[in-house]
Chains A and B, each alone.
Chain A
């Protein structure tokens, strides 16, 4: 299992998206692409932002789908950080469904115009 340590990279207030991007591209995504499990460790992080969490994990949800959450664990999260992670996980699944709906609407419209 790969462990991504957020505090060591981003500090007590994890808000720097450049660091989130770096953790994502150098540690998180390569490990997930190899089929490994990943533990993201937020121990000692007192606060983060939705933007940081998005920059860190949204790509994993978009590329691998919601099923990736079976291979992704979050450790040491305080309540605000948990709330932010849950928000990003929710709306990334929303966005998948929104895209599916768009595709469905386009297909329906195409079929209708053929008729």
Chain B
């Protein structure tokens, strides 16, 4: 897929097999939707191989505007995958999550992190991407590893475009690393954000993936940040994403929007509440320790 050429858009497939993360499916759907909206024809030769049925079932060809290689019989998707879905507004998101969760056949312990991540990532797109196409989301459950892989993408202004409105960032790498820190939002330079944005969504999401000892990647502009899997007994969270085991690639083919992939284990090693408490402990700890203040606590009745 070449996203840099404004006049054409061609999607190429391997002749014999395909294996893609929902991250890639959502990204391709977002790119194709943006091209088609701008009158660019999407092209691609689709090989008639068995594994194309998967892409058909994931509704990718619906967004490409290319006919699938052959008709398939659609079976119940419950608990196995969520086809690529376009979400343009807050109500569509709320409806999507409400309908999607029962399909997972999972209890609150398993479904809470998934609901949480989907809501935060899609709301980020709706509020910050400035894309008329909204968000493209898809997911796949892998039984062998008992995890759910989620992809969310948009073809909007990208993280650099958003962050540079209020922060001194000069490239995609700086913008992504800044966006992954807690308390930093593109809507203000003030720590703690505005009355509606805190700049915490990506920080929470990254750490939900880390706690799950799983995959997290964010691609925007020419840069991809990937959290590496870690093994160990003690979970330590870091405000700065560069202190986590990670890989970062710059100079990649330009993706003007933002795409995020995350895997979540369905069997969590610790409760979601315990994770939220850990995140709270690390959130802006520098400021708190520096002031040595005793903070007021909320009253729960």
Contacts and interface: CB of A to CB of B under 8 A. Distances in A.
Contacts of A46: 108, 112
By secondary structure, the A interface counts as: helix
A17 B284 contact: no
User: How big is the A interface, by class?
Assistant: 35 or more
Interface string A65-88: 011011011110101101111111
Contacts of B276: 80, 83-84, 87
A72 B298 contact: yes
B273 A74 contact: no
Contacts of A77: 300
Given A13-B115, A83-B273, A89-B295, A94 B204 contact: no
Contacts of B241: none
A85 B295 CA distance: 14
B123 interface: yes
A97 B276 CA distance: 23
Interface in A28-66: 39, 46-47, 49-51, 54-55, 58-59, 62, 66
B301 interface: yes
Given A47-B112, A66-B295, A84-B276, A17 B196 contact: yes
A102 B23 CA distance: 40
By secondary structure, the B interface counts as: helix
A15 B126 CA distance: 13
Contact of A91 (B120, B198, B290, B297): B198
A26 interface: no
Given A50-B200, A91-B284, A62 B195 contact: yes
B166 interface: no
Contact of B299 (A50, A62, A69): A69
A99 interface: yes
A97 B116 contact: no
Contact of B200 (A51, A62, A74): A51
Contacts of A87: 276, 279-280, 283
Interface of B: 90, 93-94, 97-98, 101, 108, 112, 115-116, 119-120, 123, 127, 182-183, 190-193, 195-198, 200-201, 204, 271-273, 276-277, 279-280, 283-284, 287-288, 290-291, 293, 295-301
Interface of A: 11, 13, 15-18, 21, 24, 39, 46-47, 49-51, 54-55, 58-59, 62, 66-67, 69-70, 72-75, 77, 79-80, 82-99, 101
Given A47-B108, A84-B276, A99-B191, 9 more contacts: A15-B97, A16-B90, A17-B90, A17-B196, A47-B116, A95-B183, A95-B191, A97-B287, A98-B191
